[in-house]
Amino acid sequence: MTQDMSIFSLVLQASFVVQLVMAGLMIVSLTSWTVIFGKLIGLKQVRVGNEEFEREFWAGRHLGELFQAANNKPASSKTAPMERIFASGMREFFKLREKKLDAAVQLDGARRAMRASFQRELDVIESHLSFLGSVASVSPYVGLFGTVWGIMHAFVGLSNMQQVTLATVAPGIAEALVATAIGLFAAIPAVIAYNRFARDIDRIAIQLETFIEEFSNILQRNAGAT
């Protein structure tokens, strides 16, 4: 009789521990794909929002008007990280200028406010990135554990047989190897996505840091004029 060697059949015939490993890896894989698609959409929104605000910022509009527009936006609206950094810097700058403090103090306070806002924004942008890194590094080993366990289980079963042939060995080993395949299936997309997102986030961080420096120069001229 020919044995059914389809993937579905191999999964059903695997031992409980191997099935548990496979189920865990499939859940992790589905979760990582959810994170990947969510991150793709989120980073695109961040890039588009930053570019739109940067064009508006350098169009020559008065800083007070930009700050007022940013403050008037409802909390539920999706403002760009660059706009929130700008608003935090302007808010601190105006607060210190009302106290008639030294120009250097005004600039330093605004810069520190922007750096703090930048770090908060970067933390939000980098959210779930560590999960993808963990999936990429751990999944192959979890799949390998399932494979090793499955092979051990198969050989224990074969020890009670009088005659061992390739036909009797193959199904047990094939069942175990499915766990490694699922582990790689979970890990490979996570590796690719992690590297892609890390590169994109680095570019966004450089863009935001450049804006902070350029905006600080503008504030320095305004602080010196007061």
* Integer Cα distance of 205 and 108 in angstroms: 21
- In angstroms, rounded to a whole number, what is the distance separating the alpha carbons of residues 173 and 152? 9
What is the enclosing helix (H) or strand (E) of 141?
Answer: helix 129-158
Q: What is the pLDDT of residue 19?
A: 84
| pLDDT score for 178 | 84
- Domain borders along the chain are 31-69+80-225
pTM (predicted TM-score): 0.82
Rounded alpha-carbon distances, angstroms, from residue 213 to 16, 23, 86, 114: 58, 49, 11, 10
List the pLDDT tens digit at each of the 226 positions of the chain.
Answer: 445 556 666 666 667 888 888 899 999 999 999 999 999 999 999 999 999 999 999 988 888 888 888 888 765 566 799 999 999 999 999 898 888 888 888 899 999 999 999 999 999 999 999 999 999 999 999 999 888 888 887 776 666 665 555 555 566 677 778 888 899 999 999 999 999 999 999 999 999 999 999 999 988 887 655 4
Give Dmax over CA atoms of the chain in angstroms: 96
Which candidate, 178, 175, 144, 172, places its Cα nearest to that of 156?
A: 172
Give the burial class of 96: count Cβ atoms within 10 A of its Cβ; 0-12 exposed, 13-18 middle, 19 or more buried: buried
